[in-house]
Amino acid sequence: MTRVCLVGDSEVNLQYELLSRETSREALATYDLERPFENTLAVRTVSIGAAVSLLNDLDWYLTRFVDEALVQEPSVSETEWLSRPLARELRNGTVEPAETDEFCKIYGLERPGEDEQGNGPGDETETDGMGPITVTPRLVEPLYVRRTDGELPEYDLRDVDETLVVRLTESEYSP
């Protein structure tokens, strides 16, 4: 299954903004909503075509409330994500999956409560007075990189335990 992840603008509560509006709420109604990262909303679709179509349906809201729309297509990579423009190019057949890995953006994943050096609780769960809740990591400071000889450079903007790789089109790449 193809995943779509909408990364909210830091100034808005993405889930509230998308679910409080009738058109976007209806577009998302058939999906099980997930929150893999802080201020994100993710769904699983049946194909890259369905993912791009959903993003097109939500375009008005994406323009206003979303910093980035990501697509994860297992036939391209089980772990790396695609930018929306790259997903569109794949769906349209203007680029082949094997040609998508050169230009990337790597986000650090930071747990709430950690400082910039990665020090902090790092717990997977917290309590809210009613029981445990899952703590979701936040995406921090993207690093633009180029894959050479099949290898990505290390993320070195912060001390983080995990990273998230997003494949980009050449025109999106800005070192």
Predicted pLDDT of residue 123: 44
Average confidence (pLDDT) per 10 residues, the chain, 175 residues = 95 94 95 95 97 97 96 96 97 94 96 59 49 76 93 94 95 80
- 93 shares its domain with 45: yes
- Of 64, 99, 134, the residue that ends a domain is 99
**What is the total count of domains within the chain?**
2
- 94 shares its domain with 38: yes
Predicted pLDDT of residue 131: 52
Which residues are CB-contacts of 88 (< 8 A; sequence separation ≥ 6)?
A: 52
Contact 27, 54 (CB under 8 A): yes
- 111 shares its domain with 132: yes
Contact 40, 5 (CB under 8 A): yes
Predicted pLDDT of residue 53: 97
- 143 shares its domain with 161: yes
Establish if 173 belongs to a structural domain: no
Establish if 172 belongs to a structural domain: no
Predicted pLDDT of residue 136: 86
- 14 shares its domain with 65: yes
Establish if 175 belongs to a structural domain: no
Predicted pLDDT of residue 111: 86
Predicted pLDDT of residue 121: 47
Predicted pLDDT of residue 10: 86
- 112 shares its domain with 70: no
- Of 84, 99, 114, the residue that ends a domain is 99
Q: Name the residue among 98, 173, 111 with its Cα closest to residue 142.
A: 173
